[in-house]
Structure 1
Amino acid sequence: METILQINNLTKKFGNLTAVNDLSFTIKKGNVYGILGPNGSGKSTTLGITLNVVNKTSGDFKWFDGSVSTHEALKKVGAIIERPNFYPYMSAYKNLKLVCKIKGIDYSKIDEKLEVVGLLERKHSKFKTYSLGMKQRLAIASALLNDPEILILDEPTNGLDPQGIHQIRAIIRHIASQGTTILLASHLLDEVEKVCSHVVVLRKGEKLYSGRVDEMISSNGFFELKCDDEEKLLQYLEQHTSIEKTIKKEGLITAFLNAPLSASAFNKELVEKGIYISHLVMRKESLEEQFLQLTDNK
């Protein structure tokens, strides 16, 4: 699979603050990547470096296998890393016409991209009449005008209402289904879980995880248990070969699995050992639980 972007040991320091620390990951063609982390984790700085708007301290990055210069590569990149900035008294169509003129793009692309983001019927409305969600969708249309190989979005749903968030996510999924690679930065676990195929988890500029979203949440799951004889249950769990670890909190025992084990088979085992459970629920770990485990251990 073709490499779109490769980041190698990237570091960025602002005085004594290390915003990005020895970061490495690879973006392959045709996937939706999420850079996930809380505010201040280095997401926007990383994107800024790859787009040549922030200078790196050390390390390097290569666009498209390093076969072209960054300047040439960026002609094949669409990016929104700041709030949409259009002329308020001009229509959406005229604003995009101006973008086409600056970038040397044929005007015929305008209607095509406005249709992708659901704004074709409002193309003659002034930008100032648009809602925040519509402004964000127009920015995506603008970033798509050059038919980029990769679309980069920094917190694309920030500040939007639920309907606006739903529309942006649907547009991202549609764009990805057409074969465009997408890289988005987000602090929203829900966003990454619903939209992305791959995730890079950052905390204080350091990579905690990089890989497929489904692999990150493909653990064997865990049991939530309640029992009158907690000591007997805990002793049994500690020596069980399929239980990786147990946590006791507020009368609930959580047993994390390191191998497949059905709830019915597990309950049968416990009864045979004279351990009677008043509550047994099997769950899969969500991305949120995985994320919290990653960040708690650092």
Structure 2
Amino acid sequence: MENILTINNLTKKFGALTAVKNLSFTIKKGNVYGILGPNGSGKSTTLGIVLNVVNKTSGDFTWFDGNTSTHEALKKVGAIIERPNFYPYMTASQNLKLVCQIKGVSGAKIDEKLELVGLLDRKDSKFRTFSLGMKQRLAIASALLNDPEILILDEPTNGLDPQGIHQIREIIKKIAARGTTILLASHLLDEVEKVCSHVVIIRQGVKLYAGRVDEMNASHGFFELKSNQNSILKKWLSENQKFKNYKEEEDKIIAFLAHELDAESLNQQLFKEGVVLTHLVKRKESLEEQFLQLTGNQK
């Protein structure tokens, strides 16, 4: 599958602060990628670097075949990395005509793009009459005017109400279904889970996971445990390689598996150690639980 964007050991420092640290991942054609992480994790900085609006400190990135200059490559990229900025007294159609002139592309597809984002019936309405969600949809239409090979969106649903969020997500799915590669930055796990096929999770500029969303969810699960011999139980869990880690939650111990283990085997092993369990339930980890583990429980 063709590479759209390749990032190698990208680092960005702002004085003593390292916003992005040795970040590497590849965006392949035809997928929807999410860069997921808590606020301040380096998502927007990474997008700014590949869009040539932020200078990198070290590392490298290449667009498409690696032989295309960033300036030329960005002609095949559509991006929204700031709040939509259109002329309030001009109509949606007039604003998009102006964007076409700036980008040096034909205005022949303005109506097509407005229809795609559900704004064709408001093409002659002034921008100042638009809701926040409509403004965001118009921005997406403007980013699609050059028929980009990749669409880059930074927190596309920020500040929107539930209906606006749903509309943006449906538009993203529709654009992806037409074969456009999409890269979106978000701090919302729900957003990534619903619209992305792949995810790159970063915290404090460091990559924690990169791969398919459904493969991230392919964990061994966890046990909910209760016992009157908690000190022995915790010691045994910390020394057993079958477990990644554990945490205490109210009166229960939640033990996360590193390898497959069934409830009956666990019960037998603990009984031999003198630990009698009063509660034993095996559960599958949700994507949210894994994300919180990876990011150190930072929302």
TM-score, length-scaled by structure 1? 0.89
Q: Deviations over 1:228-254 (max 9, x none)?
A: 665786688678885554433321122
1:289 corresponds to which residue? Answer: 289
Shift of 1:278: 5.4
CA 1:58/1:223 → structure 2, altered by over 3 Å: closer, same or farther? same
Contact 1:6–1:65 (Cα < 8 Å) also in 2 = no
What stretches of structure 2 of length at least 5 have no aligned partner?
A: none
Amino acid at match of 2:28: K
1:170 corresponds to which residue? Answer: 170
SS in 1 for 2:90: coil
Q: Deviations over 1:132-153 (max 9, x none)?
A: 0010000001101111110000
Contact 2:33–2:184 (Cα < 8 Å) also in 1 = yes
In structure 1, distance between residues paired with 2:54 and 2:241: 50
2:24 corresponds to which residue? Answer: 24
Amino acid at match of 1:71: H
1:130 aligns with 2:130: yes
Shift of 1:203: 1.6
2:59 corresponds to which residue? Answer: 59
In structure 2, distance between residues paired with 1:102 and 1:194: 34
Shift of 1:225: 3.0
Contact 1:270–1:276 (Cα < 8 Å) also in 2 = no
1:181 aligns with 2:181: yes
Shift of 1:77: 0.2
SS in 2 for 1:95: helix
1:184-195 alignment, distance < 5 Å: 184-195=184-195
Amino acid at match of 1:148: P
1:14 corresponds to which residue? Answer: 14
Amino acid at match of 2:103: K
2:254 corresponds to which residue? Answer: 254
What stretches of structure 1 of length at least 5 have no aligned partner?
A: none
SS in 2 for 1:45: helix
In structure 2, distance between residues paired with 1:23 and 1:241: 29
In structure 2, distance between residues paired with 1:107 and 1:57: 38
SS in 1 for 2:65: helix
Q: Deviations over 1:152-182 (max 9, x none)?
A: 0011011111111111111111111111111
Contact 2:267–2:277 (Cα < 8 Å) also in 1 = no
Shift of 1:5: 0.4
TM-score, length-scaled by structure 2? 0.88
1:226 aligns with 2:226: yes
Question: Cα RMSD over matched residues?
Answer: 2.7
Q: Deviations over 1:75-126 (max 9, x none)?
A: 1000000000111111111111111122232222111111111111111111
1:84-233 alignment, distance < 5 Å: 84-227=84-227
Q: Deviations over 1:51-72 (max 9, x none)?
A: 1111112111100021211111
Q: Which moved more, 1:135-144 or 1:96-105?
A: 96-105
SS in 1 for 2:111: helix
Contact 1:88–1:128 (Cα < 8 Å) also in 2 = yes
Shift of 1:30: 1.0
Amino acid at match of 1:205: G
CA 1:132/1:231 → structure 2, altered by over 3 Å: closer, same or farther? same
Shift of 1:193: 1.7
1:75 aligns with 2:71: no
Contact 1:105–1:146 (Cα < 8 Å) also in 2 = yes
Q: Which moved more, 1:270-279 or 1:174-183?
A: 270-279
How many residues are matched?
Answer: 297
Counting aligned pairs with the same residue, the percent is 74
SS in 2 for 1:289: helix
CA 1:281/1:119 → structure 2, altered by over 3 Å: closer, same or farther? farther
CA 1:208/1:272 → structure 2, altered by over 3 Å: closer, same or farther? closer
Shift of 1:19: 1.6
CA 1:198/1:241 → structure 2, altered by over 3 Å: closer, same or farther? same
Contact 2:37–2:295 (Cα < 8 Å) also in 1 = no
Q: Which moved more, 1:152-161 or 1:235-244?
A: 235-244
1:50 corresponds to which residue? Answer: 50
Contact 1:221–1:257 (Cα < 8 Å) also in 2 = yes
In structure 2, distance between residues paired with 1:42 and 1:243: 31
SS in 1 for 2:295: helix
